[in-house]
Structure 1
Amino acid sequence: MKKTTSAHGPEVQESFADLEPQRHQPKSLAELNMMIAAAKPMVHGGHKAVLGEGRVGAPLALVGEQPGDQEDLQGRPFVGPAGRLLDRALEAAGVDRKDTYVTNAVKHFKYVQRGKRRIHQKPTVGEVKHYRWWLLKELEFVHPHLVVALGATAALALSGAPVVISRNRGAAQFGEFRGFITVHPSSLLRHTDKETRDAAYTSFVHDLRSAARLAAPL
């Protein structure tokens, strides 16, 4: 079984395989995206994949958990409330979103229907496993300078092992990719106290600014 390096520590035994030799090997990002779009959802909910967005060779690749309600409806990553907050934080950090690549660890929106509302459901480790091959192949084609894990699910997908954000926040190594671990912007929206929310936002902007510095050419 293959080994991988956790965010901050010795090699750990791979918790799930990231290579699927039987699967057709795409020759380009466009071909990979065609494969993802044609595949059936591996989670309960969303009917179509939400693909990554941005330019190949971008200094920063930002990886979130999964598409949300608005992302599923619009077919684009990070366009809902968390995405708008991310855009604001990137601007505050001096990062142009046009110079980034944004995607998700899980490519379909996992939810349960309650009346007219679609309620987000966190993907399981097994579900993240099913999508991991796609994510790593996607990043190989994009070839960013630095990969930012937004939240625990993204960090799990990138590192191959569970990651506690509070203990591993900051610079990381995801296999061959230089990385950085921070919170998912949706976590900021869950703070009800303004002072706590403002402090969390300031820390998030600081993280994005630090990641951008690490991604800058030497």
Structure 2
Amino acid sequence: MAGAEEYVPDGAGMDELRTAVHDCRGCDLYKDATQAVFGEGPADATVLVIGEVPGDQEDRQGHPFVGPAGKLLDRALVEAGIDRTQVYVTNAVKHFKFKRAERGKRRIHQKPGRTEVVACRPWLLAELDTVRPELVVFLGSTAAQSLLGTSFKVTQERGKVVSLPDRPERAVATVHPSSVLRSDDREAAYQALVTDLKSAASTLSGLQRQARR
């Protein structure tokens, strides 16, 4: 698997990146997906949120986090005190990975493999280099391990501030909102997500205070 690096234009702005991603053949997921789904939000966002992979609705509409998990994320960000208008949202992998249901036409989400995550990493790094956020928030293990390595455990490190290897950004990891929707105790899972995002909000405030000194 060659990876996406040859498809990412050097020194490109956000609009150019968003156009170029549709020609990416860095892994085989493009063959079955409707389209690539690039990140969206302010080009100078203070927070960059990274999820796993586009879902069914994201693949159909071409926008990230427009399904049920995205709506829950929006609500949790607001409740945690993070200005949603200053958040850029994206995924570690830009094409929907799925399998067909045995009956009917329903497409069932599949977790991207490590080779697909690594292949798509150049797009994610290009987004980080363009946005230059003050804080990164990882949603789930696939997102976190895309930049922090496979040894990183969200279950052990959620809500804690970590540094990105070879990058200036600080980061906080938490669960993916889709796991909250699947939880037997959805309210408790949601409140735990909000608690982690409050940690992210507090970290962001601290970073901004330091920058003003």
- TM class by shorter-chain length? 0.7 to 0.9
> 167, 174, 178: which is aligned to 2:164?
174
Equivalent in 16, 26, 29 of residue 31 of structure 1: 16
Within a 5 Å distance, the mapping from 1:150-189 to structure 2 comes to 150-169=139-158, 170-175=160-165, 176=167, 177-189=169-181
Compute the displacement of 1:161 (Å): 3.0
1:88 aligns with 2:75: yes
Q: Aligned partners of 2:66 and 2:121: how far apart in 1?
A: 22
Residues 1:42 and 2:28 aligned together: yes
Give the Cα separation in 2 of the matches to 1:111 and 1:77.
16
Q: Which moved more, 1:25-34 or 1:63-72?
A: 25-34
**Bigger RCO of structures 1 and 2 (CA < 8 A, at least 6 apart):** 1
Please, which of 80, 84, 92 is the counterpart of residue 105 of structure 1?
92
Q: TM-score, normalised by structure 1?
A: 0.84
User: Given that residues 4 and 123 in structure 2 are in contact (C-alpha distance below 8 angstroms), is that contact kept between their aligned partners in structure 1?
Assistant: no
| Contact 1:55–1:99, Cα closer than 8 Å, also in 2 | yes
- Contact 2:50–2:137 (8 Å) recurs in 1: yes
Structure 1: stretches of 5+ with no match in the other structure: 1-16
User: When you count strand as a share of all residues, which structure comes out higher?
Assistant: 1
Runs ≥4 in structure 1, deviation > 4 angstroms?
A: 17-24
What's the Cα RMSD here?
2.1
Separation (CA, whole Å) in 2 of partners of 1:186 and 1:23: 29
- Counterpart position of 1:7: none
Number of matched pairs: 199
Query: Quick check: which one's helix share is greater?
Result: 2
Residues 46-100 of structure 1, C-alpha deviations (whole Å, 9 max, x = no match): 1311110101221211000011011111111101010111111112112232110
Unaligned runs of 5+ in 2: none
2:4 touches 2:120 (CA, 8 Å); kept in 1? Answer: no
Q: What TM-score do the two structures reach when normalised by structure 2?
A: 0.86
